[in-house]
Amino acid sequence: MKNKGLTKVDLIFETVDVRKVIKKAFEMTSDEIIQQVLESGLKGRGGAGFPTGLKWKYTAAEKDPEKYIVCNADEGEPGTFKDREILDKVAPKVYAGMAIAGKAMGAKKGFIYLRGEYRFLLPQLYVELHKFHKMIAEIGYDFSIEYRMGSGAYICGEESALFESIEGRRGEPRNKPPYPTTSGLFSKPTSINNVETLVTAMMIIEKGPLEYVKLGTKDSRGSKVFSISGDTPLPGIFELELGMTVQQFVNEFGDGDAKAVQVGGASGFCVPRKKFADTIIGFEGVPTGGSMKLFNSSRSMYNVLHNYLDFFAEESCGQCTPCRVGCQQLLKGIEKVKKGEAKSTYLNELIKLADTMKVASKCGLGQSVGNAFKSIVENFREEVIY
Amino acid sequence: MYQTGNLVKDLAEKHGRKRESLMPILQDIVKKHNYLTDDVMVAVATELDISAAEVYGTASFYTFLDTEERGRNVIRVCKTITCSMKGKNDIISTIEDMLKIRVGETTPDKMFTLLETNCIGWCHKAPAILINDMPYTDLTQETVIDVIKGYMR
């Protein structure tokens, strides 16, 4: 399969006349906005990749007069920091994206759930929000946004845990269905979108879906903001067209000695050097919410895996057994193998446990622990054992 | 321990007395006093007309809503992979030597508490720490001393 190569894009941070875009959207019907987002092929930029247009369509179809648009700014995935940069640099575009989503679905109220670690951004964000509310009032549209803060719980990035947290409870994920589009925040139809998704949707309205689909591949339309860290001479935030291979990525961002790239953070996949060339970054290959961590040959992949499992064992909400016990047992398990207290074949048992967690856990946290676990154990077995 | 006076009542006036007001109220108390005492949680429960167990149950879920005594300045050192690769342990030992406390402890004068935390979103500028709400990044053993000195008043 021919890939797209590595191309830098400037869509998210580009300066646009926000007022003009909002006015343009407000002159469109709800159906027209949703249709354009659907045609763009935009998938959620937080990591899970649900088609944004569908989410808006389902929420719009609900009859309840009270609906919400929630912006998920609880960016907690290890290695992800692009939403902070987006809010820091182009907050008005995020607000505009929410207003446009609100118009499309008939929601008059928006909430932004910002992780507690980013509280220092709030004063400036409120200045921008005040200006935005003034502008919306001048345009003559009824829509407002409120901030709600997280308090250091990774799990609150899971949509239903996030609702629980806003409602004043422990951030424990709910059972699905019902999905947020029918019963979300305060049990009302809710569309919950990532920060970057909202800005992208707003830019699709600005440029038109035909312009947007020129970027990316059939399965992964458009561009994506990547958070790049680890063993790289170029750590930072870069917007790139989707569809490149890991090899092309490493050629640009590696330090010449990359042995593995963790795509999608602790809940994502580890791609070893031998698979760089034929792995595409996107929904047809390895999907990512933007987290790209490079590891060179000086790093122990056992340490990487241990760090991730320690993270999950702490951040699991503890509500369901497969995740609560599973994370701890995986962590203890690799420690035992490393110390020689268990045979190396014990890793096969642990892989079975990770598979069980994938099918039996209640939410995305427990379901995705196995991604990093399996891809690291399978590709770097010797490093985990010896 | 600290006395709250009218704080809880004032916060309930500001944020409301619904269940959804709970997090903003607790967050504002922690912003002011850095941790939640049993007394303050009971006061919040009374104000919101919910059980104290509900308040404690909610607070104890969140890492930043501490229910144990904390110093005036809470230092949280990121321990997730990139910070860990880029010298987190050196940063911690420097702070430990400087403040004469270990991770998890508070200085006797209650000025500083040293903790570890999970990814705070500064991997591209690792190692990073949070002091209260403020992030400090690209730290070295030298610069972290200056940063902490800035809080010694």
pLDDT tens sequence across B75-99: 999 999 999 999 999 999 999 999 9
Contact of A89 with A196, CB cutoff 8 Å: no
Please choose, from the candidates A146, A134, A161, the residue with its C-alpha nearest in 3D space to the C-alpha of residue A102: A146
Cα radius of gyration (chain A): 21
Contact of B139 with B129, CB cutoff 8 Å: yes
Q: Do A151 and B27 touch (CB under 8 A)?
A: yes
Q: Is A214 helix (H, G, I), strand (E, B) or coil?
A: coil
Count: domains in chain A: 2
Chain A residues within 8 A of B125 when measuring between CB atoms: 235
Separation between Cα atoms, residue B122 and residue B129, nearest integer Å? 9
Establish if A117 touches chain B: CB-CB under 8 angstroms. yes
Establish if A300 touches chain B: CB-CB under 8 angstroms. no
Nearest to A153 among B18, B61, B133 (CB): B61
Contact partners, residue A78, CB within 8 Å, separation at least 6: A265, A266, A291, A293, A308, A311, B80, B81, B82, B118, B119, B123
CA distance A209 to chain B (A): 32
Q: Do A168 and B22 touch (CB under 8 A)?
A: yes
On whether both A308 and A334 belong to a single domain, the answer is yes
Nearest to B62 among A76, A79, A153 (CB): A153
On whether both A173 and A26 belong to a single domain, the answer is yes
Chain B residues within 8 A of A78 when measuring between CB atoms: 80-82, 118-119, 123
Question: What distance, in Å, lies between the first and last C-alpha atoms of chain A?
Answer: 37
> How confident is the model at residue A4, as a pLDDT?
65
Q: Do A151 and B82 touch (CB under 8 A)?
A: no
Chain A residues within 8 A of B22 when measuring between CB atoms: 168-169
Please choose, from the candidates A136, A144, A67, the residue with its C-alpha nearest in 3D space to the C-alpha of residue A107: A67
Show which of A299, A331, A359 is a domain's final residue: A299
A92 token code pair? 């008005």
On whether both A192 and A305 belong to a single domain, the answer is no
The tens digit of pLDDT for each residue in A309-355 reads 999 999 999 999 999 999 999 999 999 999 999 999 999 999 999 99
Report ipTM for this prediction. 0.97
Residue A361 lies in domain? 301-380
pLDDT, averaged in runs of 10, over chain A (386 residues): 73 95 96 97 91 97 97 96 97 98 97 98 98 96 97 97 98 96 98 97 95 91 95 97 95 96 96 96 90 97 98 97 98 98 97 97 96 97 96
Contact of A10 with A125, CB cutoff 8 Å: no
Q: Do strands B73-78 and B112-117 pair parallel, antiparallel, or not at all (unpaired)?
A: parallel
Nearest to B80 among A118, A119, A307 (CB): A307
Contact partners, residue A41, CB within 8 Å, separation at least 6: A51, A212, A213, A216, A221, A222
Asked, for residue A385, whether it belongs to a domain, the answer is: no
Asked, for residue A275, whether it belongs to a domain, the answer is: yes
On whether both A208 and A314 belong to a single domain, the answer is no
Q: Do B124 and A311 touch (CB under 8 A)?
A: no
Helix axis angle for A18-26 and A195-207, nearest 10°, is 70
Report the greatest alpha carbon distance in chain A.
70
Query: How remote is the C-alpha of A95 from its chain's centroid?
Result: 18
Chain B residues within 8 A of A84 when measuring between CB atoms: 121
**φ/ψ (deg, to 5) at A253:** -110, -10
Q: Do strands B129-131 and B134-136 pair parallel, antiparallel, or not at all (unpaired)?
A: antiparallel
Nearest to A168 among B23, B80, B117 (CB): B23
On whether both A239 and A370 belong to a single domain, the answer is no
Domain CATH code at residue A100: 3.40.50.11540
* Length of chain A in terms of residues written: 386
On whether both A144 and A281 belong to a single domain, the answer is yes
CA distance A79 to chain B (A): 6
Contact partners, residue B47, CB within 8 Å, separation at least 6: B8, B9, B12, B17, B25
Nearest to A229 among B26, B62, B124 (CB): B124
**Residue found by looking up tokens 């809503």 in the block:** B65
On whether both A276 and A324 belong to a single domain, the answer is no
Single-letter code of the amino acid located at A127: V
Nearest to B123 among A79, A186, A307 (CB): A79
On whether both A102 and A193 belong to a single domain, the answer is yes
- Nearest-by-CA chain A residue for B25: A168
Asked, for residue A386, whether it belongs to a domain, the answer is: no
Nearest to A120 among B24, B61, B133 (CB): B133
On whether both A116 and A178 belong to a single domain, the answer is yes
Single-letter code of the amino acid located at A167: E
Bond preceding residue B127 cis, omega within 30 of 0: yes
Strand order in the sheet with A68-73: A144-149, A109-114, A68-73, A190-194
Asked, for residue A132, whether it belongs to a domain, the answer is: yes
Domain CATH code at residue A307: 1.20.1440.230
Show which of A277, A299, A321 is a domain's final residue: A299
CA distance B98 to chain A (A): 25
Separation between Cα atoms, residue A278 and residue A294, nearest integer Å? 17
On whether both A280 and A351 belong to a single domain, the answer is no
Chain B residues within 8 A of A80 when measuring between CB atoms: 121
Torsion of CA B26, B29, B34, B37, to 10 degrees: -80
Show which of A266, A284, A299 is a domain's final residue: A299
**Residue found by looking up tokens 């014990």 in the block:** A346
On whether both A225 and A355 belong to a single domain, the answer is no
Q: Do B23 and A228 touch (CB under 8 A)?
A: no
On whether both A119 and A209 belong to a single domain, the answer is yes
Q: Residue A113: left (phi > 0), alpha (psi -120 to 50), or beta? A: beta
Asked, for residue A353, whether it belongs to a domain, the answer is: yes
Single-letter code of the amino acid located at B111: M
CA distances from residue B69 to A177, B6, B36 in whole angstroms, order as listed: 40, 21, 8
Separation between Cα atoms, residue A70 and residue A174, nearest integer Å? 17
State the count of interchain CB pairs (< 8 A) between A and B: 117
Chain A residues within 8 A of B63 when measuring between CB atoms: 151-153
DSSP state of A273: G
> How confident is the model at residue A1, as a pLDDT?
42
Contact partners, residue B70, CB within 8 Å, separation at least 6: B34, B35, B106, B113
> How confident is the model at residue B2, as a pLDDT?
85
Partner A, chain B 34-93, Cβ-Cβ below 8 Å = 57-58, 61-65, 79-82, 84-85
Chain B residues within 8 A of A266 when measuring between CB atoms: 80-81
> How confident is the model at residue A203, as a pLDDT?
96
Partner B, chain A 32-91, Cβ-Cβ below 8 Å = 75-81, 84
Separation between Cα atoms, residue A132 and residue A18, nearest integer Å? 9
> How confident is the model at residue B3, as a pLDDT?
83
